[in-house]
Amino acid sequence: MLPASERTSSQTVTALLRLRELILNGEVKAGERMSELALVQRLGVSRTPIRTAFVRLEDEGLLRAIPTGGYVVNAFNERDIHDAIEIRGSLEGLAARLAAERGVSKIALADLEQCLSNLDELVIGAGVNGEDFSAYVKLNEEFHRLIIHLADSPVLAKQIARAGRLPFASAGAFVMIQASLPEAHVMFTVAQDQHRCIARAIEAREGQRAEALMREHARLARRNLELALRNQQTRSLVPGSNLISFRPHTAA
C-alpha cells in the first residue's frame, strides 16, 4: 500500500489532469463555478487534491479566484492569447540570443542539426500527414527544448516552462490545427525554414538575429490560431476553443 503522501500526490496529478481536460473539452463552461463537492464525487478523489489542482489551474490561467471564495472557469479573448504567445516567444528569443552569444559546442550543434535533418525528412516532399504527424510534434518539441538547453540558463528555462503553461501559449499548442488547415504545407515549410535560420544564427553567434527569428517563429502559432478560429471545420480542433471569444472576420 502506498504511503499517504504518495497517495495524495497521485490524486493531485489525477485531479489536475482531469480538471484541465474537463475545461479544455468544454464539459465545464467559461464563467462556471467549480464545485469542490461535485468534483470529489465525479473524480473519486478527496478535497485536498482538488484544492491543490485549483491553485495550479489558477496559476495556468484556466481558473480565476473570486472574492466570495472558490474559483470559476476563465474566459479569454484573442488578445489574451496573443499576449501569452508573445511572452513565450520573447523568452525563447532570449534563450536563442544567449545561446548565440555564449557559444555552443560542436556536439550540441550536431544534436540540433540531427533534429533539423529529421524534421526535413518529414516536411520536405509530401509534407506532414496523419501517419507521421506525431513524429513531427515530438521533433518540434525537441527543437524548442534544445534551444532552451543551449542557453545554459536554469533561471530562464524555469520561466519558459512557466510561460508555456499559460493557456494556448506552448510551442505545440496549435500544431495539430496547423496540420488541418488548407495552408498546412506552406505553414510547415515556413516553420522548418525558420528552424534552420535560427540554428544558423546561433552557430554564427548572431545573437540579435537569433532572438528576432525565434520571436517571429513563435508568432506562427498566433497565425495558426487566427486561421483556425475563422474556419468552422478547424475551430472545434482548438483545445479550449469554447473559452475563447473572437472577433468575426470581415473583409477589409
Which residues contact residue 72 at a Cβ distance below 8 angstroms, ignoring those fewer than 6 apart? 31, 32, 33, 34, 63, 64, 66
- pLDDT tens digit sequence for 120-166: 998 886 666 666 777 888 899 999 999 999 999 999 999 999 888 77
Q: Which residue has the higher pLDDT, 76 or 193?
A: 193
Same domain, 175 and 55: no
* CATH number for 59: 1.10.10.10
Please report the pLDDT score of residue 80 as a whole number. Answer: 86
Task: Estimate to the nearest angstrom the gap between the alpha carbon of 241 and the chain centroid.
Answer: 14
pTM (2 d.p.):
0.77
- pLDDT tens digit sequence for 93-117: 999 999 999 999 999 999 999 999 9
Q: Which of 86, 98, 92, 104 is nearest to 207 (CA)?
A: 98
Please report the pLDDT score of residue 251 as a whole number. Answer: 41
**What are phi and psi for residue 148, nearest 5 degrees?**
-65, -40
Q: Which of the residue ranges 34-38, 45-49, 71-75, 169-173 would you say has the lowest mean pLDDT?
A: 169-173
Assess if residue 250 is contained within a domain.
no
The three three-digit cell numbers of residue 158, written as one number: 524555469
Q: How far apart are CA 65 and CA 80, in angstroms?
A: 18
Same domain, 88 and 174: yes
Assess if residue 249 is contained within a domain.
no
Same domain, 67 and 149: no
Q: Which domain holds residue 202?
A: 77-239
Residue 138 CB neighbour total at 10 angstroms: 12
Same domain, 59 and 102: no
- Give residue for cell 499576449: 83
Sign of the alpha-carbon torsion through 60, 66, 70, 74: negative
